Each structure stands twice: as structure tokens, then as C-alpha cells.
Amino acid sequence: MKENLTEAVRALRGRADALLAARVLTADEDWAGAVERALAVRSAADDVVRAVVHEARRAGATWQVIGDALGVSRQAAFQRYGKPIDPRTGEPMNTTPLAGATDLATTTVEDLAAGRWSRVTAQFDPTMREGLSEDALAAAWAQIIGLSGAFETHGEPEVSRAGDLTVTDTRLTMEAGDYTARISYRDDRTIAGLYILPADAS
């Protein structure tokens, strides 16, 4: 990841040149290679945006200004590009979400929807185990169904890092209402928090 703007632009130019050159120099239709090179261009472009955001912050631009330019909230901009400092240590915090968090959240949501309570609670960390039993989890899910009907489908989880946790938000569509499953994972892949929130409250 390049955070210096000059280096990031140079890397982007190199990736774009490689993509264009391959289209001329490759005799056969190497579509897999073309897609890989295009993804490399996208990654390099993301590095350019990151470098510009960091320069903007150093120059005094607010997260609101940056969020508006990106078309997202200031919190979303900060979560993607910010460099929070851990108040406990004074060191930069890890802002990289847990690898595979999307798959973890999808599996947890699908286990909830299928009534596989023991599979969900087996992932709980010790504090969650003490606070939420299988029976209580089943009762909470039954309450959601009582309010909004049967589960229909879920969306793609949105993933972010918040301190020591990776937080996933997954849209749930019920017969008569929408919710967000907010599930927090520790780095050991255990569940530290599980909430079913009305979609407009998430």
C-alpha cells in the first residue's frame, strides 16, 4: 500500500500501462490475466485516493469534507482512511478487519435463520456465553419473527474495525420488516457481540 501521493500515482501509472500493454502483446485471449491486471489498477487507484485523503487531513481538511467528497458519511470516511490512536497505548490502532469476517458473518446469520442456536453459541466468547444462552437466543429470534414474519434473505455483510473488534453489519429481510444483524468478532474469531437492530436504527 502506497501512502505517498507521488509513489501512489507512479504505481497506478505502471499498473495501467501493464494492463494496456498486455492487450497488445498477448496473442491469445487471456481474460483471467486481464481481470487480474484490472484489479491491480483498481487497487493502485485506491492507494491514490488514500494518499490524497491523508494529505488532505495533514492540510487540515475535516472528515466531513472528505466524506462529502467520497459520497459517504464522515464516520464511514474515517473508518476507511483514518489512523486512530489507541488511548491505552498511544500507538496507532489496527484498523484492518479480521480476515474472512464476511464469511463468518454470513455463516452466523444463516445459522440464526435456520435455528442452529448451538452452532451460534459455540462461537461466543466467555462473556457472551455467560450473558446469552441458546434458549435466550432462540427466544430473541422468535420475537423478531413475531414482529416481522419469517426470514426471507440477507445482504452482503459490511465489515469495519472498531478498536479490538471487527464489526459486521448484515441486512436481514423478513416478510414484513428489515433488520441489521450487527455481529462483532474478536481476532480469535469468537463472537463478542450480537444484536438484531431495526434497519433504520443501525
More confident residue, 123 or 9: 123
Tell me the domains of the chain and their CATH numbers: 5-81 (no CATH), 101-201 (3.10.450.590)
The answer to whether the beta carbons of residues 63 and 56 sit under 8 Å apart is no
165-186 b/e with 16+ CB inside 10 Å = b? bbbbbbbbebeeeebbbbbbbe
What value does the mean pLDDT take over residues 110-135? 96
Q: What is the Cα Rg of the chain in Å?
A: 21
Pairing of strands 165-174, 158-162: antiparallel
Q: Report pLDDT for 3.
A: 62
Pairwise CA distance, residues 124 & 41, whole Å: 39
pLDDT tens, 132-184? 999 999 999 999 999 999 999 999 999 988 889 999 999 999 999 999 999 99
CA neighbours within 13 Å on the CB side: how many for 42? 6
190 phi and psi, to 5 degrees?
-85, 155
pLDDT digits (tens, 9 = 90+) for 51-81: 999 899 999 999 999 999 999 899 888 888 8
Cell triple for residue 197?
Answer: 437492530
C-alpha cell at position 131: 450473558
What average pLDDT does the chain have? 89
pLDDT at 95: 82
Q: Which amino acid makes up residue 136?
A: A
List of residues 6+ apart from 39 with CB closer than 8 A: none
At 4, is the secondary structure helix, strand, or coil?
coil
Give the three cell numbers for residue 15. 499498473
Cell, residue 57: 487531513
32 vs 193, higher pLDDT? 193
pTM of the shown model: 0.69
- Rounded-to-integer distance, Cα 101 and Cα 181, Å: 13
16 — pLDDT class (breaks 50, 70, 90): confident
